[in-house]
Structure 1
Amino acid sequence: MAQAYSHSTKLWVTALVAVIIIAGLTALAYTSSDAALKSTAQFGLKSTAGVMATQINASEIQGLIPGDENSMQYLAIAQKLRTMRSMNDHIINAYIITVNTTDKSATFLVDDLYPVDPSGSARIGQADTSPDKMQIFAALSGPTVSPQPYSDSWGSFMSAYAPIDDSLNDSNGNTVAVLGIDVAAGDYVTSTSQGTWIIVTGVVSIIIVLGALYVFGRKPEDAPKIP
């Protein structure tokens, strides 16, 4: 009995060690893959926002006040934002925000969903209540991106922001507003969760190892007797 118990114990210890090693390697591979995908997606969002912001001239948004949503000036810049947004199927909204560093407020200036979707778009002077306030203020100096998907009164998004300056030739002017773009949170999560196959592979490997240990780890006397 003691010898049989020793053999069984060694078998289970071997199985446990194998499972721990495989699970650890699987988790490491998944984490690394997930982090790389998120980093790439966030860099892409920041780059896109940055490029779009350089295409907005400060004079195009100068002087807009609440009630100007149907003015030629507003409609022209909203159309320009929609045109740029249409070049990337994942972007569902582009807008311009004005930031007041004195009272730490951020308000919408232009929303490209207007006048296409008046009820679903922000009006001039409407407060931006998203939890991305830190990223919006940081975008006064350079492109930023949401640290993670968030939800607000408009829905669930992943956003990027970039400064709009008053320089005509380069990006060394004074920041006058911040351009923002949104992608659906669900699309972002899907695009950065392609490591599922790694988990599946790890689980299958564990099953194979356990099966192999069960089949090949038995003592000869435990094998089925052939009549």
Structure 2
Amino acid sequence: MNIRISVRTKLFLSHILIVVFIAGTAGTYFYLSAVESLMNGLKERLQASAGLISQTLDAEVLRHIRAEEDTVSPEYAATLDQLRTLKRMNPDIAFLYVMRLEAEKVFFIIDSDETNAQALPGKNYDHDLPTLRRGFTSMIVDDEISTDEWGSFLSGYAPIKNAKGQYLVGIDMRADQVREKYSALRISGAVSLFAAILLAFILARILANRFMMPIRVSISRCSSIAEGRYDEQLDIQTNDELDRLIEAINKMSSSLSLSQRTTQAAVNSLHQAKNELEIRVRQRTADLSEVNNKLSQEVAERLVAQKALQAAATIDPLTRLFNRRVIQERLDLEVARNSRQNTPFTLIIVDLDHFKMINDTHGHDAGDSILVETGVRMKGIIRGQDTLARWGGEEFMMLLPDTDAAGGLEVAEKVRVRIADTTYYFAGQEIRITASFGVAQYDGDLDRATMAADKALYQAKSLGRNRVVLADAES
């Protein structure tokens, strides 16, 4: 008794198997993702610990500790005891240490290591780690495990108080076992994935062979018909819908055998017409392809030119900030919005103090570097809806929507402190610079508000620079 199973059922069963194996593969993927999440959590805790500990240390207390003979100082002993106490409180911490950056070299100040391998003050750390160097200015954690003479660690860094880009605290967490487990999990996941793919391939191959067998026979028979052998018949059964295909091929073979002579002339004529049509289509296709390529090239060139013109019209080429034209347009938009909704906005004009002296002393390249870095620092403080533009020379303008004069003063003071209290670096040199600020709230007349802010700026200059001045209401 032959059981009839439809092609649809066979395909359904094969799809079920494929889905099962895909699910297994997805499970492996999510398992590895979970391991990665654990690693990210470890890095977050490391960064938080570095940030907290950095606030308990003051660079002013440690500045005189520079060489091995300074280990007798009470400041060194007190800080070393503090670091070792923190280390004992957290078993995950392998080492705590304070480092100093001087002349592009990194030196140990204090190391919590309680073995003979302890790094004494003044010891040069000769491993060039980009993450460590960035730790002198901001909190940061290694992206991957690093190895040095003390072992393999995942490290976090944070500048301590009053560091001025020269001091940091570092935390090392031992990572040997974590890395081994992580590697084992990766190998296990890779083996599981490979096994799943291999098994899915084998099963798919078996199913495909069973399904394709009658199709291959049918194709072979069609090839025989194409060669003019019409008397052969297929004698196979699949017990599914393919039986109808086999029957149709057998009927077609019989019909063609009867009509071969009468249709041969028509077939020859059709072949000739087909060949001529293919020639014309190929020629037309080649012509259209050439025209299309030329049009595509022209469109691409125009798009590149359009983007270049747009950038040149809106972006300052040095600082990559908006130029004067863009902020003027946004000022006009804020004036229109103020007239509709009566929402306040404030202008701030910023001018770098003694900028000509910087150019004369350190060169125009240094001046350009300071302009770019100042733009970056100001953008890091203002909001996303605020606009910062280069107003001209060493002047910048900030547009603060939905902000009154008091809010503008607060923002200007934050920017002033950021510029004045943070050292600029160029070609290995430290450069200190300040800025003066003129703040004015829009009062119904844009030109008057701009002039008021400019007047307040020059008042700040005349009062000694490095200050924020709010425009008088009468201005």
CA separation of 1:192 and 1:61: change in aligned 2, threshold 3 A: farther
Structure 2: distance between partners of 1:121 and 1:15 = 62
- In structure 2, what is the equivalent of residue 120 of structure 1? 117
Q: Structure 2: which amino acid aligns with 1:177?
A: Y
CA separation of 1:88 and 1:194: change in aligned 2, threshold 3 A: farther
- In structure 2, what is the equivalent of residue 161 of structure 1? 157
Structure 1: distance between partners of 2:83 and 2:11 = 67
- In structure 1, what is the equivalent of residue 174 of structure 2? 184
Structure 2: distance between partners of 1:99 and 1:181 = 17
Offset of residue 17 of structure 1: 1.9
Tell me whether 1:74 sits opposite 2:76 in the alignment.
yes
Is 1:92–1:182's contact at 8 Å kept on the other side of the alignment? Answer: yes
Tell me whether 1:174 sits opposite 2:170 in the alignment.
no
TM-score by length of 1: 0.69
Root-mean-square deviation (CA, aligned residues, Å) is: 3.7
- In structure 1, what is the equivalent of residue 104 of structure 2? 104
Offset of residue 127 of structure 1: 1.8
Cα deviation digits, residues 34-88 of structure 1 (max 9, x gap): 2211211101000001100100022321201212223332121111111122221
Structure 2: distance between partners of 1:164 and 1:96 = 9
Structure 2: distance between partners of 1:191 and 1:161 = 25
TM-score by length of 2: 0.35
Offset of residue 14 of structure 1: 5.3
Structure 2: distance between partners of 1:33 and 1:193 = 14
1:142 pairs with one of 121, 125, 138: 138
CA separation of 1:128 and 1:188: change in aligned 2, threshold 3 A: farther
Is 1:34–1:193's contact at 8 Å kept on the other side of the alignment? Answer: no
Structure 2: distance between partners of 1:28 and 1:95 = 38
Structure 2: distance between partners of 1:87 and 1:189 = 24
- In structure 2, what is the equivalent of residue 25 of structure 1? 26
Cα deviation digits, residues 19-42 of structure 1 (max 9, x gap): 640343123202321221121110
Q: Structure 2: which amino acid aligns with 1:164?
A: I
CA separation of 1:191 and 1:159: change in aligned 2, threshold 3 A: farther
Q: Structure 2: which amino acid aligns with 1:74?
A: Y
- In structure 2, what is the equivalent of residue 218 of structure 1? none
What secondary structure sits across from 1:165 in the alignment? Answer: coil
Aligned identity (percent) is: 23
Q: Structure 2: which amino acid aligns with 1:77?
A: T
Is 1:156–1:185's contact at 8 Å kept on the other side of the alignment? Answer: yes
Is 1:38–1:192's contact at 8 Å kept on the other side of the alignment? Answer: no
- In structure 1, what is the equivalent of residue 245 of structure 2? none
What secondary structure sits across from 2:160 in the alignment? Answer: strand
What secondary structure sits across from 1:63 in the alignment? Answer: coil
Offset of residue 12 of structure 1: 9.8
Count of matched residue positions in the alignment of Structure 1 and Structure 2: 189
Offset of residue 13 of structure 1: 5.1
Unaligned 5+ segments in structure 1 are 167-172, 214-227
Structure 2: distance between partners of 1:192 and 1:165 = 36
Unaligned 5+ segments in structure 2 are 204-475
Structure 2: distance between partners of 1:127 and 1:12 = 67
Structure 1: distance between partners of 2:119 and 2:181 = 28
Is 1:140–1:163's contact at 8 Å kept on the other side of the alignment? Answer: yes
Structure 1: distance between partners of 2:182 and 2:61 = 36
Structure 2: distance between partners of 1:84 and 1:148 = 24
Offset of residue 194 of structure 1: 11
Q: Which has the higher contact order (CA 8 A, sep 6+)?
A: 1
Residues 10-19 or 152-161, more deviating: 10-19
- Asked which structure has the greater CA Rg, the reply is 2
Higher helix share: 2
Structure 1: distance between partners of 2:161 and 2:110 = 16
Offset of residue 146 of structure 1: 1.1
What secondary structure sits across from 1:45 in the alignment? Answer: helix
Written as runs of structure 1 = structure 2, the 5 A alignment for 1:6-21 is 17-18=18-19, 20-21=21-22
Structure 2: distance between partners of 1:160 and 1:40 = 13
Is 1:159–1:183's contact at 8 Å kept on the other side of the alignment? Answer: yes
Offset of residue 188 of structure 1: 4.0
- In structure 2, what is the equivalent of residue 88 of structure 1? 90
- In structure 2, what is the equivalent of residue 63 of structure 1? 64
Structure 2: distance between partners of 1:41 and 1:194 = 18
Q: Structure 1: which amino acid aligns with 2:111?
A: D
Cα deviation digits, residues 97-128 of structure 1 (max 9, x gap): 1113xx42211111112xx32x2111212122
Residues 45-54 or 10-19, more deviating: 10-19
